Amino acid sequence: MPELPDVTVYIEALEKRIVGDTLLGIRLANPFVLRTVQPRPAEMAGRRVVALRRVGKRIAMELEEERFIVVHLMVAGRFRWLAAGAKVPGKIGLAAFDFTRGTLVLTEAGTKRRASIHLLAGADALAALDPGGMDVMAATEAGFAAALRGGRHTLKRRLTDPHVFSGIGNAYSDEILHRAKLSPVQLTTNLSDGEVARLFAAVRDTLAEWTERLRREAGDGFPEKVRAFHPEMAVHGKYGQPCPVCGAPVQRIVYAENETHYCARCQTGGRLLADRSLSRLLKGDWPKSIDELG
C-alpha cells in the first residue's frame, strides 16, 4: 500500500500537471470504485483544480467551490498519467480523470477491488474521511512520545494505526523499527525515553530519506515505481536475506495478509519472535534464537 513517501511524491507530480487545469470529466470503468453518489461525477466537471493534499494515505484533489475528489489506492491501486483522452486499460482500469493537459488513470492489479473514490462537497465532508493521525514530519518529540504512549500496544501496531500516526503502513514501519533497533512486538508502555527519542529520529529520517529517493527516481516524469517493496529496503520483503547491518537472515511474522520483517540480532537481542502459523505447527521444535538456526 502506498504510504507517506509514495503519496507525497504522487501529489508533487500531480501538482505540476493538474493544479490550475480544468477537470473535463470522470469516466468510471468500474462503478463500484465510486463510494459516494453526492455530488454526482457530472457535477465535478468544469471545475478547476486549486490544490492537492494528503489525507492519511489518501490523495485529495480540491476543485473550485470546495469540491473534492479523494482517492484511496489501498494495496494495489496506482495512478498513470497519459495523453488527454487516453483509453482506460481493460482489466486493471478503474477510472479516468480527464483534464485539458492529460488524463489521470486509476488502475488496480489483482482480482480484489479495494481502491476507492469519494466525491465530496465541503471541508467538513473531507475532514470526516481523515483518520486524524499525527503528521510525524511536523511533530515535536514530546508530541510524538505522547501519541506513542497513549495506548498499550506493540510498536508495530501503534506506528501503523492511522488514528495515531498519519501515513505509516506495513512497509515503512518495518524499516523504521529496524533503523531504531527496536522489536516490532515491544510494548509502547515499556519504552525508555532514550528509545522513544531513537524511534522518533528513525521515523523522520526513514520517511524523509525514502521521499527523497522516490523523488529522484521519478525525476521530471510521473512516478512509475510505486510499490510496497523496494529492493533497497533493509528488511521489508527481505525474508531470509542478510541484514545489511549484521548479516543475519531477516526473519518474519506472518499474520492474516500481512507480514512483519525484522532482524533478530539487531532488534530482539537474537530472540526469534513466534510466528502464529509456523510456531504452532513446530511447537517444541520452534527455534528460540537466531543462533539455533545455524
| CB-CB neighbours of 251 under 10 Å | 24
Separation CA 54–CA 61 (nearest Å) = 9
Task: Tell me, yes or no, if the pTM score tops 0.85.
Answer: yes
Domains and CATH numbers, the chain: 4-129 (3.20.190.10), 136-293 (1.10.8.50)
pLDDT along the chain (294 residues), means of 10: 94 98 97 94 97 97 98 95 96 97 95 93 97 97 98 96 97 98 96 98 98 95 87 96 97 87 97 68 46 50
Inter-axis angle of helices 193-218 and 141-148, nearest 10: 110
pLDDT score at 290: 56
pLDDT at 261: 97
Residue in 18, 163, 160 with CA at minimum distance from that of residue 79: 18
Between CA 136 and CA 56 the distance in angstroms is: 11
C-alpha cell at 113: 477491488
pLDDT value at residue 280: 46
Instruction: For residue 83, give the DSSP letter.
Output: S
d(CA 252, CA 211): 25
Residue 164 contacts residue 158 (beta carbons within 8 Å): yes
